[in-house]
Amino acid sequence: MKRTCWIPHPINNHGINILEENKLEISTSESFDSIVHHDKVVSAIFRTGKFTCTMMEHFPNLRVIAVHGVGTDGIDLEAATRKGIVVLNTPGLNSRSVAEHALALLFDLSKRLTVCDRAVRENKYMEIKYTGGFQEIYGRTLGIIGFGSIGQHLAKMAVALGMKVLVHTRQSTEIIAHYGCAKANDLADLLSESDYLSLNAPATAETYHLIDRQRLALMKPGACLINTSRGSLIDEAALADALITGKLAGAGLDVFEHEPLTPDSPLLTSPNLILTPHTAASSESAMRNMAMGVAQGILAVLNNQKPDSLINPAVWAVRRQ
């Protein structure tokens, strides 16, 4: 029987080529309804969205779900493990790209590049020239919540630019010091001391609306918030209010609690807010590396080799064959 890999979202051709060279057919149907009950589907590559228990029930021979990226919050891991389906991801392969995007948002917020571009196009050249509120980042404090691979890349770049970096993480003081950073005493201290705050933590029950009204109130007046991790970390209504009242000087978001944003989202009318469409990890090199990573992970599972980035290790002993 021919084996099929379902890829509902586009991935780099390097990954496709690896799968096809190993005799897997590729289905790129975006519609779940058109792929259900497909008994040839033995693997799936997901970039975004949900893969629920109900969806899994329609694939009796599905052996592996490969997440094109790091976040697995869209996958029902408990159901996958119960059904013997391996779940893997591609940690570290997009870290530099995401960290660079966070830094790009920081630069835009401090130099107001987007605002300046719009001012020139609207013939408000002199207005923005003298009232722009531009900032230097040298000597400013960057707070980082989450110190995995992305947070570490961002920290190294920020330190190289002369920023002071404070980190909120469970990792040791020694690891943080290795990157030229300091560990915040607690989250409240980090919020009150940071000129720029970057969220680089996963979406979990613990981090849901981590940045809510109370914690926004603790932030330094005029600070800026950057999120390239998961939208659920922020109470978006509370953030909109903080921007409208001027509590925050600005924010840069690449992720949202519900994507794409709905027309009535308060973020769309919030001032001093830069929005990008979840593209932090979409550099050409990151896309190539992730596509190759998920393809190689799938082949490892299909060849009964334990992948390096196994998310649900309990499944391995009872995985589908």
Positions annotated as catalytic residues are 230, 259, 278
- Angle at CA of residue 309, ends 172 and 146, nearest 5°: 30
How many other C-beta atoms can be found within 10 angstroms of the C-beta atom of residue 306? 12
For residue 42, what is the enclosing H or E element? strand 41-46
Residues 285 and 317: their CA atoms lie apart, in Å, by 34
In the block, tokens 């849901």 appear at 208
Cβ(176)–Cβ(169) below 8 Å: yes
Per DSSP, 234 falls in state: B
3 state SS of 146:
coil
Residue 262 token pair:
């709905």
CA-nearest of 217, 215, 211 to 247 is 217
Residues 186 and 225: their CA atoms lie apart, in Å, by 18
Q: Is the preceding peptide bond at 260 cis, omega within 30 degrees of 0?
A: yes
Burial 210-240 (b: 16+ CB within 10 A, else e): bbeeebbeebbeebbbbbbbbbbbbbbebbb
What are residue 197's DSSP bridge partners?
143, 225
CA distances, 244 to each of 79, 238, 251, 265, 267 (Å): 42, 10, 11, 14, 10
In the block, tokens 């891991």 appear at 77
Residue 276 token pair:
């990008």
What are residue 310's DSSP bridge partners?
88
Cβ-count burial of 32 within 10 angstroms (0-12 exposed, 13-18 middle, 19+ buried)? Answer: middle
